[in-house]
Amino acid sequence: MVRMAYVRVSFKDQNEGRQVLKMKDLGVEERFIFIDKASGRNFDRPNYKVLKNFIREGDLIYFDSLDRLGRNYDGIIEEWKDITRNLKADIVVLDNEELFDSRKFRNMGDLGKMLEDQFLSLLAYAAEQERKKIKQRQAEGIALAKSQGKALGRPQKNYSNLTNEKKFFIEKNYNRWRAGDIKSIEFMKLLELKKNTFYKVIREYEKLYRLNSKDSKEHL
């Protein structure tokens, strides 16, 4: 049995570091972590195809969340069943492990198949709808900005407009960074922040929680 992992981000300028770190913490060897920077609307992704060719009966494949597998309803269900029933490998989805660990369903026989199909259909539908909402919000935002004559571009990043996931990551690892267990260059890479923005975000975080600031550059 080989432990494998699939990591996907939607855009080339997004950083896959946090997903990769999570897979390594689970004991997945780096050579068995397959990474794509591509949309989830279909499965024509180079390293996903490589992963499928590597899979053998009894292997275990980790996904951080179901939408990392894909955001296409029919495709998610088809790929899940191909991996678990045709290739006879198992899948664990980390952010919903209680529901999406195919080993549990496999041990339940036909009843497990029925329950797995129901849960999978529900979550696959949610993943596809979220993709559609994202596209709609992007299009509406661009149209509004153009109508108001605003320059299009990314908003300036600060702590308050970081995602909840990144805020949690800072809170969880801030003390490790202060202690020197995580270098600044590694921390900013995992947060997908450039150097100046990273220090700005950290200062805002320290001010918000009334932490004692120090010269963080010493960790570089």
Catalytic residues: 10
User: Cα separation of 156 and 17, whole Å?
Assistant: 22
Tell me the C-alpha distance between 191 and 167, whole Å.
Answer: 9
Query: What is the number of residues in the chain?
Result: 220
Q: What are phi and psi of 101, to 5 degrees?
A: -130, 100
Virtual CA dihedral for 130, 96, 157, 192, nearest 10 degrees? Answer: -110
Q: How far apart are CA 33 and CA 64, in angstroms?
A: 12
Neighbour count for residue 72 (Cβ, 10 Å): 19
